[in-house]
Chain A
Protein backbone atom coordinates (compact mmCIF):
# COMPACT_ATOMS: atom_id res chain seq x y z
CA UNK A 1 0.00 0.00 0.00
CA UNK A 2 1.58 3.22 -1.16
CA UNK A 3 -0.53 5.32 1.17
CA UNK A 4 0.66 3.46 4.23
CA UNK A 5 4.27 3.83 3.19
CA UNK A 6 3.80 7.55 2.71
CA UNK A 7 2.26 7.70 6.15
CA UNK A 8 5.17 5.86 7.71
CA UNK A 9 7.66 8.10 5.94
CA UNK A 10 5.85 11.23 7.09
CA UNK A 11 5.69 10.08 10.69
CA UNK A 12 9.38 9.21 10.56
CA UNK A 13 10.35 12.63 9.22
CA UNK A 14 8.16 14.41 11.73
CA UNK A 15 9.69 12.52 14.64
CA UNK A 16 13.18 13.26 13.35
CA UNK A 17 12.44 16.98 13.13
CA UNK A 18 11.01 16.99 16.64
CA UNK A 19 14.26 15.40 17.79
CA UNK A 20 16.12 18.20 16.03
CA UNK A 21 14.35 20.63 18.32
CA UNK A 22 14.77 18.70 21.53
CA UNK A 23 18.32 17.40 21.29
CA UNK A 24 20.02 20.83 21.01
CA UNK A 25 18.12 22.00 24.11
CA UNK A 26 19.50 19.12 26.12
CA UNK A 27 22.96 19.62 24.60
CA UNK A 28 22.99 23.28 25.58
CA UNK A 29 22.14 22.51 29.18
CA UNK A 30 24.53 19.57 29.50
CA UNK A 31 27.30 21.56 27.81
CA UNK A 32 27.00 24.48 30.21
CA UNK A 33 26.86 22.19 33.23
CA UNK A 34 29.92 20.20 32.12
CA UNK A 35 32.00 23.24 31.28
CA UNK A 36 30.86 25.37 34.19
CA UNK A 37 30.81 22.95 37.10
CA UNK A 38 34.58 23.12 37.65
CA UNK A 39 34.42 26.87 38.31
CA UNK A 40 31.80 26.54 41.01
CA UNK A 41 33.28 26.66 44.48
CA UNK A 42 32.39 28.20 47.79
CA UNK A 43 34.65 31.12 47.03
CA UNK A 44 33.11 31.63 43.56
CA UNK A 45 29.67 31.93 45.09
CA UNK A 46 30.52 34.05 48.11
CA UNK A 47 33.43 36.32 47.18
CA UNK A 48 33.59 39.54 45.23
CA UNK A 49 35.48 39.67 41.92
CA UNK A 50 39.20 40.51 42.13
CA UNK A 51 41.99 41.40 39.73
CA UNK A 52 39.75 43.04 37.15
CA UNK A 53 37.17 40.26 37.59
CA UNK A 54 39.57 37.54 36.42
CA UNK A 55 39.68 36.04 39.92
CA UNK A 56 37.46 35.71 42.93
CA UNK A 57 33.74 35.18 42.82
CA UNK A 58 30.47 36.62 41.59
CA UNK A 59 28.62 37.17 44.84
CA UNK A 60 27.67 40.84 44.20
CA UNK A 61 26.14 39.85 40.87
CA UNK A 62 24.18 36.96 42.38
CA UNK A 63 22.92 39.16 45.18
CA UNK A 64 22.05 41.94 42.73
CA UNK A 65 19.95 39.55 40.68
CA UNK A 66 18.17 38.34 43.82
CA UNK A 67 17.44 41.93 44.91
CA UNK A 68 16.22 42.88 41.43
CA UNK A 69 13.98 39.83 41.23
CA UNK A 70 12.48 40.75 44.57
CA UNK A 71 12.03 44.34 43.44
CA UNK A 72 10.34 43.12 40.29
CA UNK A 73 7.98 41.09 42.43
CA UNK A 74 6.99 44.14 44.49
CA UNK A 75 6.63 46.36 41.42
CA UNK A 76 4.64 43.90 39.36
CA UNK A 77 2.29 42.05 41.71
CA UNK A 78 -0.35 44.59 42.77
CA UNK A 79 -1.03 45.83 39.25
CA UNK A 80 -0.81 42.38 37.65
CA UNK A 81 -3.16 40.67 40.10
CA UNK A 82 -5.55 43.62 39.96
CA UNK A 83 -5.63 43.53 36.18
CA UNK A 84 -6.13 39.76 36.17
CA UNK A 85 -9.08 40.05 38.58
CA UNK A 86 -10.50 42.82 36.44
CA UNK A 87 -10.30 40.76 33.26
CA UNK A 88 -11.61 37.57 34.81
CA UNK A 89 -14.36 38.95 37.07
CA UNK A 90 -15.32 42.48 36.11
CA UNK A 91 -14.64 43.12 32.44
CA UNK A 92 -17.69 43.00 30.23
CA UNK A 93 -17.66 41.87 26.63
CA UNK A 94 -17.18 45.36 25.27
CA UNK A 95 -14.84 47.63 23.38
CA UNK A 96 -12.90 48.69 26.48
CA UNK A 97 -12.08 45.10 27.41
CA UNK A 98 -11.02 44.50 23.85
CA UNK A 99 -8.55 47.37 24.16
CA UNK A 100 -7.23 46.10 27.48
CA UNK A 101 -6.57 42.70 25.90
CA UNK A 102 -4.91 44.30 22.91
CA UNK A 103 -2.72 46.33 25.28
CA UNK A 104 -1.63 43.15 27.07
CA UNK A 105 -0.80 41.36 23.81
CA UNK A 106 1.26 44.36 22.82
CA UNK A 107 2.99 44.65 26.18
CA UNK A 108 4.02 41.02 25.78
CA UNK A 109 5.44 41.79 22.35
CA UNK A 110 7.40 44.97 23.04
CA UNK A 111 11.13 44.19 22.72
CA UNK A 112 12.98 44.08 26.01
CA UNK A 113 15.42 46.75 24.84
CA UNK A 114 12.48 49.11 24.28
CA UNK A 115 11.48 48.51 27.89
CA UNK A 116 15.04 49.51 28.71
CA UNK A 117 14.62 52.77 26.77
CA UNK A 118 11.29 53.40 28.49
CA UNK A 119 12.85 52.80 31.91
CA UNK A 120 15.66 55.20 31.05
CA UNK A 121 13.28 57.90 29.85
CA UNK A 122 10.58 57.49 32.49
CA UNK A 123 12.20 56.28 35.71
CA UNK A 124 15.87 57.20 35.45
CA UNK A 125 15.43 60.65 33.90
CA UNK A 126 11.84 61.88 34.21
CA UNK A 127 11.25 60.66 37.78
CA UNK A 128 14.89 61.39 38.61
CA UNK A 129 15.54 58.02 40.21
CA UNK A 130 18.90 57.72 38.47
CA UNK A 131 20.36 54.36 37.52
CA UNK A 132 19.15 52.57 40.60
CA UNK A 133 17.67 49.36 41.91
CA UNK A 134 14.30 51.09 42.07
CA UNK A 135 14.39 52.17 38.41
CA UNK A 136 15.53 48.70 37.31
CA UNK A 137 12.87 46.93 39.37
CA UNK A 138 10.11 49.13 38.01
CA UNK A 139 11.28 48.53 34.44
CA UNK A 140 11.48 44.77 34.94
CA UNK A 141 8.17 44.83 36.81
CA UNK A 142 6.34 46.44 33.91
CA UNK A 143 7.98 44.05 31.46
CA UNK A 144 6.77 41.12 33.58
CA UNK A 145 3.15 42.36 33.76
CA UNK A 146 1.72 40.59 30.68
CA UNK A 147 3.07 37.14 31.64
CA UNK A 148 1.65 37.36 35.16
CA UNK A 149 -1.66 38.88 34.05
CA UNK A 150 -2.35 36.16 31.48
CA UNK A 151 -1.49 33.22 33.74
CA UNK A 152 -3.30 34.72 36.74
CA UNK A 153 -6.39 35.41 34.63
CA UNK A 154 -6.40 31.83 33.41
CA UNK A 155 -6.10 30.57 37.00
CA UNK A 156 -9.02 32.73 38.13
CA UNK A 157 -11.19 31.72 35.17
CA UNK A 158 -10.49 28.05 35.93
CA UNK A 159 -12.31 28.30 39.27
CA UNK A 160 -15.72 26.74 38.60
CA UNK A 161 -18.67 29.09 38.35
CA UNK A 162 -20.59 27.29 41.12
CA UNK A 163 -18.15 28.59 43.76
CA UNK A 164 -19.23 32.09 42.84
CA UNK A 165 -22.93 31.28 42.52
CA UNK A 166 -23.09 29.65 45.94
CA UNK A 167 -21.17 32.43 47.63
CA UNK A 168 -23.32 35.12 46.03
CA UNK A 169 -26.49 33.29 46.87
CA UNK A 170 -25.47 33.26 50.54
CA UNK A 171 -25.49 37.03 50.45
CA UNK A 172 -21.80 37.69 49.98
CA UNK A 173 -20.97 40.69 47.86
CA UNK A 174 -18.98 40.39 44.66
CA UNK A 175 -15.70 41.39 46.30
CA UNK A 176 -16.30 39.09 49.29
CA UNK A 177 -16.86 36.26 46.85
CA UNK A 178 -13.65 37.01 45.01
CA UNK A 179 -11.64 37.56 48.16
CA UNK A 180 -12.81 34.51 50.11
CA UNK A 181 -13.81 31.98 47.45
CA UNK A 182 -12.21 32.65 44.09
CA UNK A 183 -8.74 33.90 44.99
CA UNK A 184 -7.89 31.13 47.49
CA UNK A 185 -8.88 28.56 44.87
CA UNK A 186 -6.88 30.29 42.17
CA UNK A 187 -3.84 30.96 44.33
CA UNK A 188 -1.59 28.07 43.21
CA UNK A 189 -2.18 28.99 39.57
CA UNK A 190 -1.42 32.62 40.29
CA UNK A 191 1.77 31.67 42.14
CA UNK A 192 2.87 29.59 39.14
CA UNK A 193 2.42 32.59 36.86
CA UNK A 194 4.24 34.91 39.22
CA UNK A 195 7.25 32.59 39.53
CA UNK A 196 7.42 32.08 35.76
CA UNK A 197 7.31 35.83 35.24
CA UNK A 198 10.05 36.38 37.81
CA UNK A 199 12.25 33.73 36.22
CA UNK A 200 12.06 35.66 32.95
CA UNK A 201 12.90 38.90 34.73
CA UNK A 202 15.86 37.35 36.53
CA UNK A 203 17.48 36.38 33.25
CA UNK A 204 16.84 39.60 31.34
CA UNK A 205 19.72 41.84 30.37
CA UNK A 206 18.43 44.46 27.96
CA UNK A 207 15.97 46.21 30.34
CA UNK A 208 18.61 46.66 33.05
CA UNK A 209 21.43 47.86 30.79
CA UNK A 210 20.62 51.55 31.22
CA UNK A 211 18.46 51.45 34.32
CA UNK A 212 20.47 49.72 37.04
CA UNK A 213 23.31 47.45 35.96
CA UNK A 214 26.82 48.30 37.10
CA UNK A 215 29.83 47.18 35.10
CA UNK A 216 31.93 46.48 38.16
CA UNK A 217 30.91 47.21 41.72
CA UNK A 218 32.66 45.05 44.26
CA UNK A 219 30.73 46.31 47.28
CA UNK A 220 27.07 45.66 47.86
CA UNK A 221 24.41 48.32 47.26
CA UNK A 222 23.48 50.36 50.33
CA UNK A 223 20.05 51.57 49.32
CA UNK A 224 17.37 51.24 46.69
CA UNK A 225 18.88 54.23 44.92
CA UNK A 226 22.22 52.50 44.31
CA UNK A 227 23.34 50.68 41.22
CA UNK A 228 24.02 46.99 41.48
CA UNK A 229 25.73 44.28 39.51
CA UNK A 230 23.47 41.61 38.06
CA UNK A 231 24.26 38.14 36.76
CA UNK A 232 23.01 38.47 33.16
CA UNK A 233 24.83 41.74 32.59
CA UNK A 234 27.89 40.40 34.36
CA UNK A 235 27.95 37.44 31.98
CA UNK A 236 27.75 39.84 29.06
CA UNK A 237 30.57 41.97 30.47
CA UNK A 238 32.98 39.15 31.23
CA UNK A 239 32.39 37.36 27.95
CA UNK A 240 32.63 40.28 25.55
CA UNK A 241 34.01 43.36 27.29
CA UNK A 242 36.93 42.07 29.33
CA UNK A 243 39.83 40.58 27.38
CA UNK A 244 41.74 37.68 28.86
CA UNK A 245 38.88 36.43 30.97
CA UNK A 246 39.33 32.78 31.99
CA UNK A 247 36.72 30.66 30.17
CA UNK A 248 35.94 28.68 33.31
CA UNK A 249 34.68 31.83 35.08
CA UNK A 250 32.49 32.65 32.08
CA UNK A 251 30.97 29.17 31.98
CA UNK A 252 30.62 29.19 35.75
CA UNK A 253 28.69 32.45 35.66
CA UNK A 254 26.47 31.14 32.86
CA UNK A 255 25.82 28.00 34.88
CA UNK A 256 24.85 29.91 38.03
CA UNK A 257 22.47 32.12 36.05
CA UNK A 258 20.97 29.13 34.28
CA UNK A 259 20.51 27.28 37.57
CA UNK A 260 18.76 30.23 39.22
CA UNK A 261 16.38 30.72 36.31
CA UNK A 262 15.68 27.03 35.73
CA UNK A 263 15.13 26.29 39.41
CA UNK A 264 12.51 29.04 39.46
CA UNK A 265 10.87 27.43 36.42
CA UNK A 266 11.05 24.06 38.16
CA UNK A 267 9.39 25.42 41.30
CA UNK A 268 6.61 26.86 39.13
CA UNK A 269 6.09 23.50 37.43
CA UNK A 270 5.98 21.68 40.77
CA UNK A 271 3.43 24.12 42.18
CA UNK A 272 1.30 23.60 39.07
CA UNK A 273 1.42 19.82 39.17
CA UNK A 274 0.72 19.56 42.89
CA UNK A 275 -2.14 22.00 42.40
CA UNK A 276 -3.70 19.81 39.72
CA UNK A 277 -3.43 16.80 41.99
CA UNK A 278 -4.92 18.46 45.04
CA UNK A 279 -7.70 20.31 43.28
CA UNK A 280 -11.17 19.67 44.63
CA UNK A 281 -12.87 20.27 41.29
Chain B
Protein backbone atom coordinates (compact mmCIF):
# COMPACT_ATOMS: atom_id res chain seq x y z
CA UNK B 1 0.00 0.00 0.00
CA UNK B 2 1.54 3.20 -1.12
CA UNK B 3 0.38 6.76 -0.69
CA UNK B 4 0.09 7.12 -4.45
CA UNK B 5 -2.36 4.25 -4.71
CA UNK B 6 -4.33 5.60 -1.79
CA UNK B 7 -4.70 9.09 -3.28
CA UNK B 8 -5.62 7.58 -6.62
CA UNK B 9 -8.38 5.51 -5.03
CA UNK B 10 -9.71 8.48 -3.06
CA UNK B 11 -9.96 10.39 -6.35
CA UNK B 12 -11.69 7.42 -7.99
CA UNK B 13 -14.11 7.29 -5.08
CA UNK B 14 -14.82 11.00 -5.46
CA UNK B 15 -15.42 10.60 -9.18
CA UNK B 16 -17.81 7.68 -8.58
CA UNK B 17 -19.59 9.65 -5.86
CA UNK B 18 -20.03 12.74 -8.03
CA UNK B 19 -21.53 10.68 -10.85
CA UNK B 20 -23.90 9.07 -8.34
CA UNK B 21 -24.83 12.54 -7.16
CA UNK B 22 -25.92 13.55 -10.67
CA UNK B 23 -28.27 10.54 -10.69
CA UNK B 24 -29.48 10.96 -7.12
CA UNK B 25 -30.08 14.73 -7.45
CA UNK B 26 -32.70 14.23 -10.15
CA UNK B 27 -34.39 11.40 -8.27
CA UNK B 28 -34.52 13.28 -5.01
CA UNK B 29 -35.80 16.48 -6.68
CA UNK B 30 -38.55 14.55 -8.45
CA UNK B 31 -39.47 12.83 -5.22
CA UNK B 32 -39.30 16.00 -3.16
CA UNK B 33 -41.37 18.13 -5.52
CA UNK B 34 -43.80 15.65 -7.06
CA UNK B 35 -43.77 12.82 -4.50
CA UNK B 36 -42.97 10.34 -7.25
CA UNK B 37 -40.64 7.36 -7.13
CA UNK B 38 -39.17 6.92 -10.58
CA UNK B 39 -37.55 3.56 -11.37
CA UNK B 40 -37.07 4.63 -14.98
CA UNK B 41 -34.45 7.19 -13.99
CA UNK B 42 -31.82 4.57 -14.89
CA UNK B 43 -33.28 4.42 -18.40
CA UNK B 44 -32.67 8.16 -18.81
CA UNK B 45 -29.05 7.56 -17.81
CA UNK B 46 -28.87 4.87 -20.50
CA UNK B 47 -30.53 7.13 -23.09
CA UNK B 48 -27.92 9.81 -22.38
CA UNK B 49 -25.10 7.32 -22.89
CA UNK B 50 -26.56 5.94 -26.13
CA UNK B 51 -27.30 9.40 -27.51
CA UNK B 52 -23.71 10.41 -26.75
CA UNK B 53 -22.29 7.29 -28.38
CA UNK B 54 -24.45 7.80 -31.47
CA UNK B 55 -23.64 11.51 -31.74
CA UNK B 56 -19.92 10.86 -31.25
CA UNK B 57 -20.13 8.27 -34.02
CA UNK B 58 -21.73 10.74 -36.44
CA UNK B 59 -19.85 13.92 -35.64
CA UNK B 60 -16.67 12.72 -33.97
CA UNK B 61 -16.94 15.48 -31.40
CA UNK B 62 -17.10 14.64 -27.70
CA UNK B 63 -18.59 18.01 -26.81
CA UNK B 64 -21.42 17.55 -29.30
CA UNK B 65 -21.91 14.07 -27.84
CA UNK B 66 -22.40 15.54 -24.37
CA UNK B 67 -24.85 18.11 -25.73
CA UNK B 68 -26.73 15.33 -27.53
CA UNK B 69 -26.87 13.35 -24.27
CA UNK B 70 -28.28 16.32 -22.37
CA UNK B 71 -30.80 17.08 -25.09
CA UNK B 72 -31.93 13.49 -25.67
CA UNK B 73 -32.33 12.70 -21.98
CA UNK B 74 -34.16 15.97 -21.26
CA UNK B 75 -36.46 15.42 -24.25
CA UNK B 76 -37.13 11.82 -23.26
CA UNK B 77 -37.81 12.98 -19.71
CA UNK B 78 -40.22 15.70 -20.83
CA UNK B 79 -42.09 13.34 -23.16
CA UNK B 80 -42.37 10.62 -20.54
CA UNK B 81 -43.59 13.17 -17.99
CA UNK B 82 -46.24 14.50 -20.37
CA UNK B 83 -47.48 11.11 -21.55
CA UNK B 84 -47.21 8.83 -18.52
CA UNK B 85 -45.72 10.28 -15.36
CA UNK B 86 -48.22 13.08 -14.78
CA UNK B 87 -51.01 10.54 -14.52
CA UNK B 88 -49.15 8.99 -11.58
CA UNK B 89 -48.76 11.92 -9.17
CA UNK B 90 -52.04 11.22 -7.42
CA UNK B 91 -51.55 7.45 -7.39
CA UNK B 92 -49.97 5.42 -4.60
CA UNK B 93 -46.33 4.38 -4.69
CA UNK B 94 -47.17 0.87 -5.88
CA UNK B 95 -48.70 2.19 -9.10
CA UNK B 96 -45.70 4.48 -9.60
CA UNK B 97 -43.28 1.59 -9.13
CA UNK B 98 -45.13 -0.57 -11.62
CA UNK B 99 -45.66 2.06 -14.27
CA UNK B 100 -42.02 3.12 -14.15
CA UNK B 101 -40.95 -0.56 -14.15
CA UNK B 102 -43.01 -0.90 -17.32
CA UNK B 103 -41.16 2.13 -18.72
CA UNK B 104 -37.84 0.39 -18.00
CA UNK B 105 -38.97 -2.64 -20.00
CA UNK B 106 -40.07 -0.42 -22.90
CA UNK B 107 -36.92 1.72 -22.89
CA UNK B 108 -34.48 -1.18 -22.48
CA UNK B 109 -36.02 -3.36 -25.15
CA UNK B 110 -36.55 -0.36 -27.42
CA UNK B 111 -32.88 0.53 -27.16
CA UNK B 112 -31.87 -3.08 -27.75
CA UNK B 113 -34.10 -3.10 -30.82
CA UNK B 114 -32.61 0.16 -32.15
CA UNK B 115 -28.93 -0.37 -31.28
CA UNK B 116 -28.56 -4.15 -30.91
CA UNK B 117 -27.35 -6.14 -27.92
CA UNK B 118 -23.67 -5.43 -28.35
CA UNK B 119 -22.12 -2.73 -26.19
CA UNK B 120 -21.14 0.51 -27.92
CA UNK B 121 -17.96 2.36 -27.13
CA UNK B 122 -17.64 6.04 -26.53
CA UNK B 123 -14.03 7.15 -26.88
CA UNK B 124 -12.39 9.65 -24.60
CA UNK B 125 -11.35 12.64 -26.78
CA UNK B 126 -7.64 13.06 -27.47
CA UNK B 127 -7.33 16.28 -25.52
CA UNK B 128 -8.62 14.51 -22.38
CA UNK B 129 -6.83 11.18 -22.72
CA UNK B 130 -3.61 10.31 -20.99
CA UNK B 131 -2.65 11.19 -17.47
CA UNK B 132 -1.90 14.34 -15.56
CA UNK B 133 0.74 14.67 -12.86
CA UNK B 134 -0.77 15.95 -9.66
CA UNK B 135 1.24 17.65 -6.89
CA UNK B 136 3.30 14.96 -5.14
CA UNK B 137 4.10 13.17 -8.39
CA UNK B 138 0.81 11.25 -8.61
CA UNK B 139 -0.19 10.23 -12.12
CA UNK B 140 -3.96 10.34 -12.58
CA UNK B 141 -6.11 9.93 -15.71
CA UNK B 142 -6.99 13.40 -17.00
CA UNK B 143 -10.47 12.34 -18.11
CA UNK B 144 -11.51 11.11 -14.67
CA UNK B 145 -10.23 14.31 -13.09
CA UNK B 146 -12.12 16.38 -15.67
CA UNK B 147 -15.46 14.66 -15.09
CA UNK B 148 -14.99 14.92 -11.31
CA UNK B 149 -14.45 18.67 -11.64
CA UNK B 150 -17.27 19.00 -14.17
CA UNK B 151 -19.57 17.11 -11.78
CA UNK B 152 -18.57 19.38 -8.90
CA UNK B 153 -19.26 22.42 -11.07
CA UNK B 154 -22.70 21.04 -11.97
CA UNK B 155 -23.40 20.36 -8.30
CA UNK B 156 -22.47 23.96 -7.46
CA UNK B 157 -24.67 25.18 -10.32
CA UNK B 158 -27.56 23.10 -9.03
CA UNK B 159 -27.21 24.53 -5.53
CA UNK B 160 -27.16 28.01 -7.04
CA UNK B 161 -30.23 27.20 -9.16
CA UNK B 162 -32.19 25.91 -6.18
CA UNK B 163 -31.22 28.61 -3.71
CA UNK B 164 -30.79 31.75 -5.83
CA UNK B 165 -33.05 31.70 -8.89
CA UNK B 166 -36.76 32.21 -9.38
CA UNK B 167 -37.11 28.66 -10.71
CA UNK B 168 -35.39 27.38 -7.57
CA UNK B 169 -37.76 29.35 -5.36
CA UNK B 170 -40.70 27.81 -7.18
CA UNK B 171 -39.21 24.32 -6.86
CA UNK B 172 -38.72 24.75 -3.13
CA UNK B 173 -42.21 26.20 -2.80
CA UNK B 174 -43.58 23.23 -4.72
CA UNK B 175 -41.88 20.92 -2.24
CA UNK B 176 -43.56 22.46 0.75
CA UNK B 177 -47.03 23.31 -0.54
CA UNK B 178 -48.14 22.58 -4.06
CA UNK B 179 -51.73 23.88 -3.72
CA UNK B 180 -50.51 27.20 -2.39
CA UNK B 181 -48.12 27.95 -5.23
CA UNK B 182 -50.74 26.87 -7.76
CA UNK B 183 -53.10 29.35 -6.11
CA UNK B 184 -50.42 32.03 -6.41
CA UNK B 185 -50.49 31.67 -10.15
CA UNK B 186 -47.54 29.39 -10.83
CA UNK B 187 -48.19 26.94 -13.66
CA UNK B 188 -47.60 23.85 -11.57
CA UNK B 189 -47.80 21.26 -14.33
CA UNK B 190 -45.20 23.13 -16.36
CA UNK B 191 -43.00 23.35 -13.26
CA UNK B 192 -43.30 19.57 -12.86
CA UNK B 193 -42.30 18.98 -16.47
CA UNK B 194 -39.29 21.27 -16.05
CA UNK B 195 -38.16 19.56 -12.83
CA UNK B 196 -38.52 16.13 -14.42
CA UNK B 197 -36.63 17.17 -17.55
CA UNK B 198 -33.90 18.75 -15.40
CA UNK B 199 -33.46 15.52 -13.43
CA UNK B 200 -33.46 13.55 -16.68
CA UNK B 201 -30.80 15.83 -18.20
CA UNK B 202 -28.53 15.34 -15.18
CA UNK B 203 -28.96 11.56 -15.42
CA UNK B 204 -28.28 11.63 -19.16
CA UNK B 205 -25.14 13.69 -18.69
CA UNK B 206 -23.88 11.30 -16.02
CA UNK B 207 -24.57 8.39 -18.36
CA UNK B 208 -22.59 10.01 -21.18
CA UNK B 209 -19.62 10.89 -18.97
CA UNK B 210 -19.45 7.43 -17.37
CA UNK B 211 -20.13 5.81 -20.74
CA UNK B 212 -16.70 6.92 -21.93
CA UNK B 213 -15.03 4.99 -19.08
CA UNK B 214 -17.23 1.91 -19.19
CA UNK B 215 -19.10 0.47 -22.14
CA UNK B 216 -22.47 1.78 -23.30
CA UNK B 217 -24.99 -1.04 -23.10
CA UNK B 218 -28.62 -1.87 -22.38
CA UNK B 219 -29.21 -2.32 -18.65
CA UNK B 220 -26.33 -0.04 -17.64
CA UNK B 221 -28.71 2.30 -15.83
CA UNK B 222 -30.33 0.04 -13.26
CA UNK B 223 -27.30 -0.82 -11.08
CA UNK B 224 -26.57 2.92 -10.88
CA UNK B 225 -30.22 3.61 -10.14
CA UNK B 226 -30.17 1.23 -7.17
CA UNK B 227 -26.99 2.85 -5.86
CA UNK B 228 -28.68 6.23 -6.25
CA UNK B 229 -31.52 4.87 -4.10
CA UNK B 230 -28.99 3.88 -1.45
CA UNK B 231 -27.60 7.43 -1.67
CA UNK B 232 -31.06 8.92 -1.19
CA UNK B 233 -31.88 6.63 1.72
CA UNK B 234 -28.62 7.68 3.39
CA UNK B 235 -28.97 11.38 2.57
CA UNK B 236 -32.69 11.75 3.18
CA UNK B 237 -35.40 12.10 0.55
CA UNK B 238 -35.83 15.50 -1.05
CA UNK B 239 -32.53 16.91 0.20
CA UNK B 240 -29.97 17.93 -2.44
CA UNK B 241 -27.33 18.42 0.26
CA UNK B 242 -28.12 14.94 1.60
CA UNK B 243 -27.78 13.54 -1.91
CA UNK B 244 -24.33 15.11 -2.31
CA UNK B 245 -23.02 13.89 1.05
CA UNK B 246 -24.66 10.48 0.65
CA UNK B 247 -23.21 10.10 -2.85
CA UNK B 248 -19.68 10.95 -1.70
CA UNK B 249 -20.01 8.56 1.25
CA UNK B 250 -21.22 5.74 -1.00
CA UNK B 251 -18.56 6.42 -3.64
CA UNK B 252 -15.70 6.52 -1.18
CA UNK B 253 -16.95 3.57 0.91
CA UNK B 254 -17.30 1.38 -2.15
CA UNK B 255 -13.92 2.25 -3.64
CA UNK B 256 -12.04 2.07 -0.33
CA UNK B 257 -13.78 -1.16 0.69
CA UNK B 258 -12.75 -2.90 -2.52
CA UNK B 259 -9.17 -1.78 -1.92
CA UNK B 260 -8.75 -2.32 1.81
CA UNK B 261 -10.98 -5.22 2.85
CA UNK B 262 -9.08 -7.96 0.98
CA UNK B 263 -5.85 -6.59 2.45
CA UNK B 264 -7.37 -6.44 5.91
CA UNK B 265 -8.41 -10.08 5.75
CA UNK B 266 -4.96 -11.03 4.49
CA UNK B 267 -3.64 -10.21 7.97
CA UNK B 268 -5.24 -13.31 9.43
CA UNK B 269 -6.21 -15.49 6.45
CA UNK B 270 -4.42 -17.09 3.54
CA UNK B 271 -4.29 -15.09 0.33
CA UNK B 272 -6.99 -16.77 -1.74
CA UNK B 273 -9.70 -16.88 0.92
CA UNK B 274 -8.84 -13.34 2.06
CA UNK B 275 -9.41 -12.07 -1.48
CA UNK B 276 -12.68 -14.01 -1.71
CA UNK B 277 -14.04 -12.95 1.69
CA UNK B 278 -12.78 -9.41 1.34
CA UNK B 279 -14.26 -8.79 -2.08
CA UNK B 280 -17.56 -10.45 -1.13
CA UNK B 281 -17.82 -8.24 1.93
CA UNK B 282 -16.69 -5.16 -0.01
CA UNK B 283 -19.55 -5.62 -2.45
CA UNK B 284 -21.96 -5.49 0.50
CA UNK B 285 -20.29 -2.62 2.33
CA UNK B 286 -22.43 0.28 1.08
CA UNK B 287 -25.61 -1.62 1.93
CA UNK B 288 -24.24 -2.25 5.42
CA UNK B 289 -23.53 1.48 5.63
CA UNK B 290 -27.14 2.08 4.62
CA UNK B 291 -28.36 -0.34 7.30
CA UNK B 292 -26.39 1.53 9.97
CA UNK B 293 -27.79 4.89 8.85
CA UNK B 294 -31.27 3.36 9.03
CA UNK B 295 -30.75 2.15 12.57
CA UNK B 296 -29.35 5.51 13.61
CA UNK B 297 -31.57 7.89 11.64
CA UNK B 298 -34.41 6.17 9.75
CA UNK B 299 -35.27 9.40 7.91
CA UNK B 300 -31.74 9.73 6.49
CA UNK B 301 -29.00 12.16 7.44
CA UNK B 302 -30.73 15.27 6.10
CA UNK B 303 -34.29 14.04 5.70
CA UNK B 304 -36.97 16.25 7.20
CA UNK B 305 -39.70 13.61 7.49
CA UNK B 306 -39.68 9.83 7.44
A, B in one complex = no
